[in-house]
Every structure is written in structure tokens, then in C-alpha cells.
Structure 1
Amino acid sequence: MQRLYEKVGAVHIHTVFSDGSGHYDQVIQDATDAGLEFLLFSDHWTLKPKQQGREGFHNGILVGIGCELNDSKGRNHLLAFQIDEEIKAGIDPLEYTKKVVEMGGWAVVAHPDERRDALPEFPAYPWTTWDSEDFQAMEIWNHLSEWMERLTNRNKYWLYINPRRSVITPTEWTLKTWDRLNLKRRVVGLGGVDAHAHHYSIWRNVNASIFPYKIAFRSIHMHVLFDEPPEEGNDDAALTQLFQTLRQGRAFVANRYVGQARGFRFWAEGVEDSKIYQMGDRLPAVSQLTFHVNLPPDVTHAVLLKDSQQICHWKDAEGSFRSIGSGVYRVEARRRRRAFIFSNPIVIEP
């Protein structure tokens, strides 16, 4: 197994620069307390914190800054990273997605499968522009979306107090859509906390912060696997390395509330040449592979899926399986009945 350097962070964070309640210094401190190693901020429609020089290492945490875009109806949210110029509002999703990519940016579809109508004050904001072929990644799991979709008048006070209990699993529709997209092109799967730390009135004069940052940072994590560790002290090089590795799909999503996912590995080995392939790699149709998995102690069982269908089940700490033709191969791991880890795929192209 190739040696890789694992870094854990949180994606999709809002601050006082848009509709979040946190200031950068405090948010970074909360991330430090949670043991995170990188943060990706995405305030709505603004790159002001990036323009103020807030990217780079802060107290050992690597900070990347993008922005979140949406259409005139509040739908089709897109996280735009690695851009230096703000995009003007008022253009349609196809146009702003294409523009992000043309600017050299990384375009990530946010909370694509939002569906809710229990509380009118919290409408759904799904992604509907599936005819776009420009976005390069999508959130397969979003903490805030799942919390809001489970919210009703009956349970809202309980969920205010227990926000991480709402994080159960990505939707089946999202995972199948993700697999289907990866048959044609690489679409990296991300997990987002969508952290705002909104303040709400619970009862009379009692206000509460809905899953503050320190709670959000102990839920959905991104684990990124580097060939070489990012060099602290060289901000630009470290950020380039982080985004390059994410763009390649060398990462997996995990719910920290369920357990410790560090040490999970999913890779493949060529049957004929013993060449090693990592998550995110795409191979020609004639390829024959042996897939391998290493599972951390908190995993009780895992499955290998091909085109959204289970083809192998593992309970041991290590496992292998031979490929059976073209398809999108990825791993889902659980701790008992709880969804826990979702790998990015290795694809044998049709």
C-alpha cells in the first residue's frame, strides 16, 4: 500500500462576511479545538476575506476561501473556490458555473437534493441545473440540509439541542446521481458542514445558536490523502496542493459523530502490472483490478459498490475484491447501523 498523508478538515463554512455569526479568529479556534487541519470557507457572493489576506495557515490550520453563488430564486447553490474575482449576481446557473471554471476555479454543487416543506420559513434550495457539464464536484452529504429536512414543529426543540443526531445518511438519490455522473466524467464527492451558527429564539427571551461551529466541526469531515504533506509556511503551495488533491478525488467523507475514520484506505492494484491506483483514478475499459480496503477500528462492516449496487461485503479490518468489468467502484462503511464513511470512486470507464 502506498504511503499517504491524511489531513482532516471541514468544508462549506459561513461567517459574519455573509449570513454566519462567527468571526474568522473564533471559527479557526473552534476548528483547532476539534482537531481539524484545514477549513474551506464559502461566504455568499463575496471574496472579501480572501482579498483581506485571510487565506493560508493560521495556528497550524490551512484556510482556503471561496464563495457561494445561487440563482435569482435562491436555488442552484454553487461553491466556487480558487477564484480571485467576484462574480456578479443576476446570471443563470449555467453561466456562473461555466464562468467559475473559465476563471480556473473549482465548481462544487452544494446540497443538490434538498427536499422539504414541513416549515415554510425553511424552503428547499436544490440544484436543478443537471444539464451543466462544468461543475467538477458535488456535496454528497450536507449537515445543515439534513438537519433542516428532519425539522418539524414537533421535534425542532430537540434538534436544536441535539443537532448532530440529525446526521443519518446521504440520500439514495444523491448517491445514485453521483455514481451516474462519474460514469461519464470525474465528479468528486464532498461532505459539507454548511456551518452558520445561526441564532434563533427558542422561547420568549431565550436564544440559542443552532449547532455552533464547535459542534459542526465534530460532524461531517473531509479526509484528504496527500502524496506529500502540505508544507506549513508556504501558504500558496499548500493551498495549491490541497485543491489539486481534492480535484483528483483523493479524499473520503466521514461522520465524526459516529466514530474515528482516520486510517481508512481504498485503493486498487492492476492485475497484470501491479500498478497502484487511488480514489479518483479513471482507467480504460480493458483494465483488470484488485480492489483493497483498510478499515479503521470503529468500522463494523463495509460494502463495495459498483454502479450503486453492492457486490462485496467486508467485516474484517482488511479486504480485497477483483473487478468485474467497467463501472463506478466505491466503498461505504458503517458503524453498526450508522452511515460512517463514503469513499470517492475508482472508475473503469465503459
Structure 2
Amino acid sequence: MSQNEKLYEYVGVVHIHTLDSDGTKPHEYIIKLAQKYNIDFLMFADHMTLASRSKEGWYDGVLVIIGYEHEDPTGINHYLVFDVNEVLPRTLTPKEYVARVREAGGIGIIAHPFESRQMQKYPPYPWTEWDTYQFDGIEIWNHMSSWLEGIACGNKLKYLLKPRSLLHAPPVLAIKKWDELNLSRKVCGIASADAHGYKLRLLKLFWRTVFPYKIGLNSLWTHILARKPIPENFQRAKDFVFDAIRECRVFISNRRWGDARGFRFFAKSGSEFASIGDRIHLSPELRFFVVAPDSSDIIFVHNGEKIEKKHGKTAEFKPFEEGIYRVELVREGKVWIISNHIRVISGAK
């Protein structure tokens, strides 16, 4: 079960807050943690500010990208914005700022689109403007959002002491919407830490950092696959990451249940080869393959429907029709890996 093409893999943490907004540590502290954990890129997104954009660059093997998190005048419809020169006016509607980011050549990712919880101090910030098509990605799993919703539903002590323990699966509505969007165009599925390093007062006696950055950086990872190595030049390296997101050459992993580096999902038909984010022609010889670093349940998904399941470190699947295909890997009932899609099309090669 060998690939026809070598792929380079890079692991990143997306959606990180710092002292520039409501985070609790500076960029430099978080970058050092990333170096310690062998993370390849970081994507910072503080609220409505690009104050530290001059800190972008390479830091001993870690690519640091700084964007910001936009919100509408009511405080909802949060949007991660990268590769723009200025913060857009807060008075814009979601449809307007999504369009403005696209017009500026930037990249935009919808944040925690289906947040829902009853917490007065930490209300939900869902995405409500679906009458737009110019966004590049969507957070299909956000650790902070999942954590807060877990706290709101109970088990507070468990989640305070073990903030990764609730990472069982992404929100069903987010996955469903993501699959639906990809039926008509590419929309990248992203995993986000939404790291803040929050401190809470426990039992009204003492303060505790319940969601430290070392946890945020070791929870939900976004992996990029590419046919060429990342460039040494910073601007080209940044474009490399953005192009991978736009083309959906991405899979996400839940670090809590294992290191997913080395995972591959690809399709072959004769001399034709497709990796995540690619398309391939339907033929009787077409097969999909999965290679994983450890055993799991491997679920084959077509157009959002789970159609077949196998167990092991490798798997082979045969598609029978056109559409979008992806896989989910599950370990002991916990979602470990989710790939972006490979599109099967008809017609001559």
C-alpha cells in the first residue's frame, strides 16, 4: 500500500490568543512551548487587533503567523482573518467583512460556528450568516468551545482538572455543515485550540490556570500535507500554509488520543494519484487507502454519510460513485483523526 508521491507533513496550532487581547501570556512564551513540542507553525488571532504583526517570522523552526479575530457589531459571528494589512471596521456586517477579506487577498476561517451554551459570564458566539460563500475554512472542532460547553453541562471538577478529557468528538452540526458546503466547493475543515490560558477562581479560595497554553498546544492539531517542503523564505512559507488551507490539503487530529503524524489518506487508479484536497476520476480500478501510525476504527464517509468501517493501521476502500470522500479514525470511541475530502469526478482522465 505505497504512495506514488512523497508528501511533506507540517503540524500547526490555529487560533491562539495572547496579552494583545484576552490571552494571559505573550507571543514569546507560546512560541517557546511550540519549539518544545515540535510544532511547525502557529496562527495567532487576537480580538480585533494586529498590534503584534511585526512579530511574524521564523523562530528556530517555528513559523509564526499573526492575524486577528473579527466580530460583528453584536459581538457574534467571529471570523479568523489572516494576510491582511489592517483590521477592518467593527461596523461591517459578517457578509461585508467576509467579502472584504477576500477582496484584499486574505484568508478567512469561520470560528466556532455552532456554539451553544447557557453561561452568563461566557455566552456563546455562533456564526449566523450562511448567505455568503467567500470564506476559506470553518472550524469543525474548537477546543475552548467544547471545553466551555462541557463545563456548562456539568462535570465541572473533571473538566477543570483535565481540560482535554472532553475531547470525544467534534460538534455534529459543524461536521454536517462542513460536508454540506463541500458538496459544491472546497471549504477547509480546521481544528482550533482557541487558546487563552484562562485563570479561574476555584472554591472562592485560589486562582488556577485551568486551560494552560501547554494544554492548548497539545489538544487539537491541524496538519498540512504538501508535495514540496515548506520554503525557508518567510513570505513564501506563509503563502505555503495559506495555499494548503485554500486547497484543503489538511487533516486534523486530537492529540489527546495519540500522535497522528504519519497519517495518510489517498486514492489511486492506474497512474492517477490523489491525496487529501485533490480530485480523481471515477473508474473500476479506483481505490482509497488509509495508513495510520496506530490501530483504530477507520470510517469511510461519502457525501457526509458513513458507509463503511474497518479496524487496523491500514485500510482499503472501493468507491462506487462520484462525490466527496473522507475518513474518520476513532480510538476507544474517541475521534482521533478527520481528513479533509478527496473529490471523485466523472469524465475522461
**TM-score bracket, shorter-length normalisation:** over 0.9
**3-state SS of paired residue (1:238):** helix
Moved more, 119-128 or 145-154: 145-154
How much does 1:221 deviate? 0.5
Q: Distance in 1 between matches of 2:183 and 2:283?
A: 15
State the percentage of identical aligned residues: 37
Counterpart of 1:303 in structure 2 is 299
Pairing 1:326–2:322 present: yes
Residue identity in the other structure for 2:8: Y
How much does 1:199 deviate? 1.8
Counterpart of 1:38 in structure 2 is 41
Q: Distance in 2 between matches of 1:284 and 1:295?
A: 25
Q: Distance in 1 between matches of 2:282 and 2:74?
A: 42
Q: After TM superposition, which residue ranges in structure 1, 4 or more long, deviate above 3 angstroms? A: 282-289
Counterpart of 1:195 in structure 2 is 195
TM-superposition CA deviations, 1:179-209 (whole Å, max 9, x none): 1100001000000000011222113341112
Counterpart of 2:217 in structure 1 is 217
1:154 and 1:314, CA in 2 relative to 1: closer, same or farther beyond 3 A? Answer: closer
Moved more, 155-164 or 100-109: 155-164
Stretches of structure 2 lacking an aligned partner (at least 5 in a row): none
Q: Is the 8 A contact 2:264 2:292 kept in 1?
A: yes
1:45 and 1:288, CA in 2 relative to 1: closer, same or farther beyond 3 A? Answer: farther
Counterpart of 2:251 in structure 1 is 252
1:85 and 1:257, CA in 2 relative to 1: closer, same or farther beyond 3 A? Answer: same
1:157 and 1:93, CA in 2 relative to 1: closer, same or farther beyond 3 A? Answer: same
Stretches of structure 1 lacking an aligned partner (at least 5 in a row): none
1:284 and 1:274, CA in 2 relative to 1: closer, same or farther beyond 3 A? Answer: closer
Pairing 1:290–2:287 present: yes
* Correspondence 1:129-278 to 2 at 5 A: 129-152=129-152, 154-232=154-232, 234-269=233-268, 271=269, 273-278=270-275
1:126 and 1:11, CA in 2 relative to 1: closer, same or farther beyond 3 A? Answer: same
How much does 1:104 deviate? 0.4
Counterpart of 1:79 in structure 2 is 80
Pairing 1:340–2:336 present: yes
Pairing 1:22–2:25 present: yes
Residue identity in the other structure for 1:77: H
How much does 1:135 deviate? 0.7
1:14 and 1:194, CA in 2 relative to 1: closer, same or farther beyond 3 A? Answer: same
Q: Distance in 1 between matches of 2:194 and 2:326?
A: 24
How much does 1:22 deviate? 1.1
Q: Distance in 1 between matches of 2:114 and 2:154?
A: 23
Report the number of matched residues.
343
Residue identity in the other structure for 2:290: V
Q: Is the 8 A contact 2:273 2:280 kept in 1?
A: no
How much does 1:24 deviate? 0.8
Counterpart of 1:66 in structure 2 is 67
1:90 and 1:334, CA in 2 relative to 1: closer, same or farther beyond 3 A? Answer: same
1:56 and 1:168, CA in 2 relative to 1: closer, same or farther beyond 3 A? Answer: same
Moved more, 312-321 or 41-50: 312-321
**3-state SS of paired residue (1:331):** strand
Q: Is the 8 A contact 2:142 2:193 kept in 1?
A: yes
Residue identity in the other structure for 1:257: R
How much does 1:283 deviate? 5.1
Residue identity in the other structure for 1:278: S
Q: Is the 8 A contact 1:288 1:325 kept in 2?
A: no
Q: Is the 8 A contact 1:330 1:346 kept in 2?
A: yes
Q: Is the 8 A contact 2:168 2:333 kept in 1?
A: no
Q: Distance in 2 between matches of 1:78 and 1:264?
A: 29
Scaled by the length of structure 1, the TM-score of the pair is 0.93
How much does 1:345 deviate? 0.5
**3-state SS of paired residue (1:315):** strand
Q: Distance in 2 between matches of 1:73 and 1:285?
A: 47
**3-state SS of paired residue (1:316):** strand
